[in-house]
Amino acid sequence: MSHTALRLDAPGDAAGGVLVIGYGNTLRSDDGVGWHAAGLLADDPRLAGVEIVASHQLTPELSLDMSRASLVILVDASAEGPPGAITVRRLEGDDVGAAGGGGGVTSHHVGPGVLLSLARDLYGAAPDAFVVSVGTATMELGEELSPPVAAALPAIADAVVGLVAAHRRSPG
């Protein structure tokens, strides 16, 4: 039995420590990798006490959860890079226009950089944040991940665990 919480699409209180958000469209093959990763991470004993959220998209409401966390890790598909390749990058609050940062706010979707900026501007706190991106093979209609992306799931989990472990070791 896991002590990690998996929350589906519902804003609320972040754990106060670490928040992982896996997001994407589960009906578009590899675009759903964030959801698949969230399910795997929720059962990972190395992430005890970490709040895991699975969401179809990033919405402004998640900025409140981000502002309450000390570390946020976002897991998503990327059209850049070879299928199954994992990229980890630190997210900065001024990444609003950067690749992967999102191009602004709509009523239904914001990018990771926008969320971090909203957390800072609306709630006065922006945590350390990272984006773990996974190169896709296909975004065609379907609920299954392509073989290279499915094979990358354990490495995605290891990348997230590594970020959490480093955060837990860091002073203050």
DSSP states of 79-105: SSSSTT-EEEEEE-TTGGGSTTT-S-B
Q: Tokens 């000390």: give the residue.
A: 70
Q: Which of 159, 137, 132, 138 is nearest to 34 (CA)?
A: 132
Q: What is the C-alpha to C-alpha distance for residues 128 and 88, in angstroms, rounded to an integer?
A: 13
| Amino acid 10: pLDDT | 44
Domain boundaries, the chain: 5-169
> What is the SS3 assignment for 42?
helix
The helix (run of H) or strand (run of E) holding residue 150 is helix 147-169
The structure's pTM equals 0.85
The CATH number of 5-169 is 3.40.50.1450
pLDDT for residue 131 is more than 60: yes
| Amino acid 105: pLDDT | 47
| Amino acid 172: pLDDT | 61
- pLDDT tens, residue by residue, 47-71: 999 999 999 999 999 999 999 999 9
